[in-house]
Amino acid sequence: MTISKFLKKVLFLLDLAPSECPILDNLNSEKNREFNYMSKKRKVEIFSAGCAVCDDTINLVSQIACQSCEVEVLDMRQEDVAKQARGYGISTVPAIVIDGKLADCCVHRVLDEKTLRAAGVGVALA
């Protein structure tokens, strides 16, 4: 979700018009375009329980991730993380979610570099 879409939703919830938000008005300025470019990342979430197989997965993703990848390791032993994982349909670990979608390698339980690269990990965003 872009910043402007997020702000528009917040304004809608607050019953305010977009014209009443100076932040939204400034989103198209040069400075903000640079911010949007710099913040454009592929979000890679690794759901782990701290086991050796999970550690291997974390290492693999860390090795192939590029500057366009924002990698986050989430501990399934924490209730809020487990709840988030259930929302993605995760029932086993390790599991990888890329930009909000459970990676095919985790659906079919075949975890390898080729599958992760096909999902975009380690491939720079244009």
The whole-angstrom separation of Cα 39 and Cα 91 is 31
Contacts of 92 (CB under 8 A, 6+ apart): 109
Residue 36 has pLDDT above 50, yes or no: no
Confirm whether 95 is domain-assigned.
Answer: yes
Q: Quick one: pLDDT at residue 104?
A: 78
Q: What is the mean pLDDT of residues 16-43?
A: 56
Assess if residue 123 is contained within a domain: no
Q: Which residue has the higher pLDDT, 51 or 106?
A: 51
Please give the C-alpha separations between residue 52 and each of 21, 37, 96, 97, in angstroms, as whole numbers.
Answer: 49, 36, 16, 19
Distant-in-sequence, close-in-space partners of 56: CB < 8 Å, separation ≥ 6: none
**pLDDT band for position 8 (cuts 50, 70, 90):** low
| Confidence at residue 52, expressed as pLDDT on a 0 to 100 scale | 92
In this structure, the answer to whether residues 67 and 102 fall within a common structural domain is: yes
Measured between alpha carbons, how far is 7 from 78 in angstroms, rounded to an integer?
30
Q: Which one has a higher pLDDT value, 45 or 124? A: 45
CATH number at residue 48: 3.40.30.10
Residue with tokens 């029932």: 91
d(Cα 87, Cα 81) in Å, to the nearest integer? 10
Question: Is 124 part of any domain?
Answer: no
The confidence score (pLDDT) of residue 58 equals: 93
Do 65 and 24 share a domain, yes or no? Answer: no
| Measured distance CA(126)–CA(108) in Å, rounded | 28
24 and 61 fall within a common domain: no
Tell me: do 55 and 102 sit in the same domain: yes
In this structure, are 15 and 65 located in the same domain?
no
